[in-house]
Amino acid sequence: MRFSRVRSGLPETIHEVAGCAIDRSGTELMRTGPVERPFYYRSAIKPLQALASLRAGASLADEELAIVCSSHGGYPVHLSIVESILANHGLSEADLRCPPALPLNPRAQRLQVQLGHTDTQRLFHNCSGKHAGWLAGSAARGWPTDTYLDPRHPMQRAVYELVESVTEAEPGPVGVDGCGSPTLRGTVITLARAFRTVTTTPEFARIATAMMRFPALVSDNVRPDGVFGVLWGGTSKGGAEGLFAASRNGITITTKSLDGSIEVAVAGAVEIARSIGALPRPMARDMEVLAHPPVLGGGEPVGTLELVEP
How far is 307 from 68, CA to CA, in rounded Å? Answer: 34
Is this prediction's pTM over 0.85?
yes
Tell me the CATH number for domain 2-309: 3.40.710
In three-state secondary structure terms, 132 is helix
How far is 244 from 155, CA to CA, in rounded Å? Answer: 24
All structural domains of the chain with their residue ranges:
2-309
- What's the one-letter identity of residue 73? G
Q: What is the pLDDT along the chain (310 residues), one digit of tens a residue?
A: 999 999 999 999 999 999 999 999 999 999 999 999 999 999 999 999 999 999 999 999 999 999 999 999 999 999 999 999 999 999 999 999 999 999 999 999 999 989 888 889 999 999 999 999 999 999 999 999 999 999 999 999 999 999 999 999 999 999 999 999 999 999 999 999 999 999 999 999 999 999 999 999 999 989 999 999 999 999 999 999 999 999 999 999 999 999 999 999 999 999 999 999 999 999 999 999 999 999 999 999 999 999 998 8
How far is 84 from 168, CA to CA, in rounded Å? Answer: 35
DSSP string, 33-81: S-TT--EE-GGGGHHHHHHHHHHHT----HHHHHHHT------HHHHHH
How far is 7 from 152, CA to CA, in rounded Å? Answer: 49
Name the DSSP class of 100.
P
Contact 87, 96 (CB under 8 A): no
